[in-house]
Structure formats: C-alpha cells, structure tokens
C-alpha cells in the first residue's frame, strides 16, 4: 500500500501569515549529555495560502534559543535542522520541513545553541480539502562531530498550538505512486523502488521518514539510482545508511520530483547473528613481521571492530590494533601484522562493548623454523536433472507398392541421448508406446501398432558410471516396451550420458487402402 501526493497546476494566492508559539520542549542531547526541558519560540511561515490538493508548500522556520546546550565550544559544526508539523482540519498526518546543511558555531554551556533560520518545502496530501492547520510537534538537529553522526531531538511537551493555516482547494493532479519491498531490508543495502504517475524526466529525490510520514531525514539515504523516464515511470534503487544511523523499525520511504511526492512503507531490520562469534587467524602461527589474515562471522553488521593481539596473560598489546568494519551479513576480513614477539592470542570486540569479546590462540615462530600448516579443501556439488534429447522427431518408412503380398520395411529410430546428472544411486528406465497407424485425411483404414517391431540398443559414454541394458526385441503397442534401462547402483552412485536407439521393422498387410499413414511413438524416461 502506498501513500501518494501530487501537485496540480500552480495556484495564485497570497502568502500565509506567519505564526509564533512558545511551547515547552524536551530535548535529548547526544552521547548521554542529558535531557533538558524549557521554553522555545517557534515561528513558522507557510506560503502560498491556498494550494491545490497534493500541492507544494514553502516553509520558513525561525527557532529561538532552546534548552539544548553543549559541554564544549565547537566551531563550524555541520548541522541539518528539521521540524515536524502535524496537520488537522482539511488533512491529517505529519509533514517534515528539512533545511539545508549549514555550519554552526556551538557555544559552551550555559549559552544556548541557536539554529539559524531555514527554509524547505513539503506537500499536502492529494486528498486534502479545505483549511489545514499546522502544529509543530518536534524539532531535530542532525550534526556531524568528530566524524560521528548525532541527532538532538526536541519534542513539544506542553504549550503548543497551531502556527499557520493553508487552504487546499481546486482539483488535484494525477497521483504519483512508489512501491518498496514488502519484507524487511537491512541497513547499508540497496533497496529497489518502482512507481508511476511522476513528472516525465524529472529528478527523483528520496528520503526516509518515520512510519507516520514525519521525521524525514535525507541523511538516512546515502545513495540513489532512481530515474523517471519519459512515461513518468519510476525505477532504480536507494542505498540506506548504516545501522548506527537507522535503527530497526517501521519507516516510510518518500520520493519527490519537485512537483509530486509519494511514500511507501518500509521495514528495516539489521542482520541478526546466527550463533556465537567465529574468529579465525590464518595461519595460526607465523614469524615476527609476517602479515596474516584475520576473519570472522556472526558479528553485528556495520560494527567497527577492535582487532588486537594479547600476550599470554591476556594483556592488550595496543600497538598491534587494527579497526576493520563488519559487512551487512556480519562478517569481516582484515590483514594483521605480527609485530610483537609476545603475541599469544588474537582478540576482537565490537568497539569495546561488554560481552562482545572473543579470541583465538596464536603462536609466534622462530624465523629459522619452517613451521607447519594445514589447508582444508572444500567444494559443493549441485545435483542436476534426469533428461533426454533426440536427434529427430520423424521416422519415414518410405513408400510401399501394393502387389497382393505383405511387406517388411526396415527403419531406424532417431538416436536418443539420456543424461543423468542427479548424482544418486537410483537408475532409470526409457520406454516407448505406439499408437495405431491412421490414414491421413480422416480415412477409416487403420494399421495396428503391433505392425512395428523394434530391436533396441544402448551404450554408455566413457565417463558414465553404470551399465545400461537394452530392452527386449518385440512389437510395439499401447503397453510400454523397454528401450533402455540403467539398473540402480545399490550403494554405488550411477549416472552420466547414455545413447539409445533401435532398429525398426514395419510389417504392412497384403491388402490395405492406398494413402498416407502416420502413428505416434511416445518415449517416457523415468
């Protein structure tokens, strides 16, 4: 199911008057710095005052000082502000206005953090009708500090209210649609999208919102190959941010082309390890200065690991550490230099998180020692089918001249090749049945199928296992007659490629109406 929004023709109307409220907001500071509450001025100006259903609205947001503070002074912090507005009256649901990323100088507490005014666009629903009231419910600032991504959400807890009204009237345009996978998808993976009704040739811009359509955050989509073709069809995929950025849960993927917008539900769930950590150092012994490979599986996805050596007492040898990241399926592989003669173990943990430690033993060898090593060879075999093919589909016995006597006309069955790629001990049987000969053109004359007899033959190709047995010579008919059989192998696997054929003899009656006759031989392999 998708939620779609679309823009009809532009509507000329005066800009809506700005409104200001001063609610109490509750903020959650990043990295466990606290959750202060306090008043904050919120000014929202929406324009135009009147739009068509599905129309685009431009918003100007001005926020006063709030309760959020920083324990340190930071300069030029990349900051992306957004605000969620709940609709009531002529439409319901939630919209997000997200501003551009700007550099903000963050003062040290007790001075408050002030976000510069910003602007953004959103779309009213395609089924909107009449005055729509907009009430701020949440502000968020996404920041990048020391290479990490952080969010500071501030929710309105009291004193809120309507800040602006936009009226939806007139006819809406054709709705755009977007479809996403119905099953859960993992962070850091590609997610295919499709849809229709979009503006031909327009640029599709994706973002990820909460399930209700609010909290939209473009940083949760790290890549996009979405295109809209000349017919307005949407195709391509988006790449989700990692599991540190996107928690497990229900979301809505939102796409906009500048004049239309649509959303589809999306369930996100990170990789779940199938069992305990499996860590391997290869080789597990090497001389000082060697570079080995350390790999593992059943880790959480998108985790930066500490891979470090320990001495025999379990002390960390810090200078040996490397920091690989796990893949979306919870695996990793990294090179590791044997740089300390005291190395006795190779250790990993998921960023120092308690309970994520594991280790394997390692031996540093003397450079003069040749050492020993083992390699385990593995491969997989996928069973194939039991099948047959034939070199032709018709046997022509030629023409018989009636002279008052019966005739025996020789022929040869088109060669048949049987391929048994099942890799089992079960054999197979190839049989044939023949219909009566009927006169062409609907004549009533019939030659019984038993007028044809065969002498089967079969042989195995050089690489085949098992000895095939040709069927007994005899007349054909409605009862299956054996052409070739490969007996079961007991405890031996049988199979391969085999050839089968037969010499044929047609015994024509002495007296029969002239004309063309035909019969059908049906071959069955089982």
* Over residues 136-156, mean pLDDT: 90
Report the number of distinct structural domains present in the chain. Answer: 4
Residues 6+ apart with CB under 8 A from 439: 445, 446, 513, 515, 516, 517
Contacts of residue 330, defined as CB under 8 A and 6 or more positions apart, other chains included, come to: 271, 273, 297, 298, 299, 300, 301
The pLDDT value given to residue 10: 33
| pLDDT, tens digit (0-9, with 9 covering 90-100), for 49-61 | 999 888 899 999 9
Asked which of 268, 298, 321 is the last residue of a domain, the reply is 268
Average pLDDT of the segment spanning 89-114: 92
Q: Is the domain of 42 the same as that of 120?
A: yes
Residue 175 forms part of a structural domain: no
Q: Is the pLDDT of residue 354 over 90?
A: no
pLDDT tens for 483-523 read 999 998 888 999 999 999 999 999 998 888 888 889 999 99
Residues 401 and 443 in one domain: yes
Residue 239 inside a domain? The answer is: yes
Here the CATH number for the domain that contains residue 406 is 2.60.40
Confidence tier at 404 by pLDDT (50, 70, 90): confident
Name the one residue in this structure whose structure tokens are 């047959």.
388
Can you read off the two tokens belonging to residue 1?
A: 């199911």
Q: What is the mean pLDDT of the chain?
A: 90
Structural domain includes residue 514: yes
Handedness of CA 276, 282, 285, 291 (dihedral sign): negative
Q: What is the mean pLDDT of residues 310-328?
A: 94
- At 359, which CATH number? 2.60.40.230
Query: Is residue 142 located within the same domain as residue 247?
Result: no
- Of 477, 458, 460, nearest to 469 by C-alpha is 458
Co-location of 440 and 490 in the same domain: yes
Strands 291-297 and 332-337: antiparallel
Within this chain, do residues 475 and 413 fall inside the same structural domain, yes or no? Answer: yes
**Are residues 48 and 141 both part of a single domain?**
yes
pLDDT band at 525 (very low <50, low <70, confident <90, very high): very high
pLDDT of residue 14: 47
396 and 484 share a domain? yes
Query: Where residue 373 falls among pLDDT bands split at 50, 70, 90?
Result: confident
Q: What is the pLDDT of residue 66?
A: 93
CB 37 within 8 A of CB 23: no
512 backbone dihedrals φ, ψ, rounded to 5°: -160, 145
| CA–CA gap between residue 112 and residue 201 (Å, rounded) | 45
Residue appearing with tokens 């390890």 = 273
Same-domain status, 152 and 9: yes
Q: Tell me which of 222 and 373 has the higher pLDDT.
A: 222
Q: Is residue 273 part of a domain?
A: no
Q: Are residues 156 and 24 in the same domain?
A: yes
| Same domain (yes/no): 101, 234 | no
| 427 in the same domain as 293 | no
173 found inside a domain: no
* Domain presence at residue 371: no
Tell me, yes or no, whether 11 and 110 share the same domain: yes
Is the pLDDT score of 13 beyond 50? no
Is residue 380 in some structural domain?
Answer: no
For 119, the token pair is: 């602007």
Alpha-carbon 47 to chain mean position: 40
What share of the chain has pLDDT > 90, as a percent? 73
Structural domain including 487 reads: 386-525
CB atoms within 10 A of CB 347: 22
pTM score = 0.57
Identify the pLDDT of residue 485. 94
């Amino acid at each position: 199911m998708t939620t779609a929004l679309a823009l009809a023709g532009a509507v000329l109307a005066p800009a809506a008057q700005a409104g200001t409220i001063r609610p109490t907001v509750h903020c959650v500071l990043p990295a466990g710095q606290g959750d202060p509450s306090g008043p904050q001025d919120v000014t929202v100006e929406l324009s135009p005052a009147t739009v068509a259903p599905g129309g685009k609205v431009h918003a100007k947001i001005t926020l006063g000082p709030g309760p959020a503070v920083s324990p340190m002074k930071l300069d030029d912090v990349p900051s992306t502000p957004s605000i969620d507005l709940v609709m009531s009256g002529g439409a319901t649901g939630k919209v997000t206005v997200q501003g551009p990323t700007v550099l903000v100088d963050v003062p040290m507490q007790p001075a408050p953090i002030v976000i510069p005014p910003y602007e953004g666009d959103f779309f009213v629903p395609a089924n909107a009708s009449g005055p729509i009231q907009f009430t701020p419910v949440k502000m968020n600032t996404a920041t990048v500090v020391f290479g990490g991504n952080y969010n500071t959400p501030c929710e309105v807890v009291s004193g809120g209210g309507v800040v602006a009204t936009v009226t939806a009237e007139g006819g809406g345009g054709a709705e755009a649609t977007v479809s996403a996978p119905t099953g859960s998808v993992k962070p850091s993976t590609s997610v295919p999208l499709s849809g229709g009704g979009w503006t031909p040739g327009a640029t599709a811009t994706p973002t990820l919102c909460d399930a209700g359509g609010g909290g939209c955050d473009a940083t949760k989509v790290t890549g996009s190959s979405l295109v809209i073709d000349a017919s307005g069809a949407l195709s391509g995929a988006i790449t989700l941010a990692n599991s540190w950025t996107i928690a497990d849960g229900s979301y809505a993927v939102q796409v906009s082309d500048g004049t239309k917008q649509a959303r589809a539900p999306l369930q996100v769930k990170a990789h779940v390890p199938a069992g305990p950590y499996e860590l391997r150092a290869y080789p597990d012994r090497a001389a000082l200065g060697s570079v080995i490979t350390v790999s593992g599986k059943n880790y959480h996805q998108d985790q930066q690991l500490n891979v470090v050596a320990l001495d025999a007492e379990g002390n960390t040898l810090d200078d040996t550490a490397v920091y690989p990241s796990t893949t979306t399926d919870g695996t990793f592989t990294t090179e590791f230099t044997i740089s300390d003669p005291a190395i006795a173990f190779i250790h990993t943990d998921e960023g120092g998180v308690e309970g994520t430690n594991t280790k394997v033993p390692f031996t540093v060898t003397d450079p003069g020692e040749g050492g020993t090593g083992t390699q385990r060879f593995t491969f997989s075999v996928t069973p194939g089918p039991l099948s047959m093919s034939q070199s032709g589909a018709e046997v022509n016995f030629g023409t018989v001249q009636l002279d008052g006597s019966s005739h025996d006309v020789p022929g040869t069955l088109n060669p048949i090749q049987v391929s048994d790629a099942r890799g089992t001990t079960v054999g197979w049987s190839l049989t044939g049945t023949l219909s009566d000969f009927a006169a062409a053109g609907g004549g009533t004359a019939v030659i019984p199928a038993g007028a044809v007899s065969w002498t089967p033959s079969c042989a195995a190709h050089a690489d085949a296992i098992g000895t095939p047995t040709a069927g007994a010579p005899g007349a054909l008919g409605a009862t299956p007659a054996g052409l070739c059989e490969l007996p079961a192998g007991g405890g031996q696997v049988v199979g391969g490629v085999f050839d089968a054929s037969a010499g044929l003899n047609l015994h024509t009656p002495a007296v029969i109406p002239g004309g063309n006759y035909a019969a059908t031989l049906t071959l069955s392999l089982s």
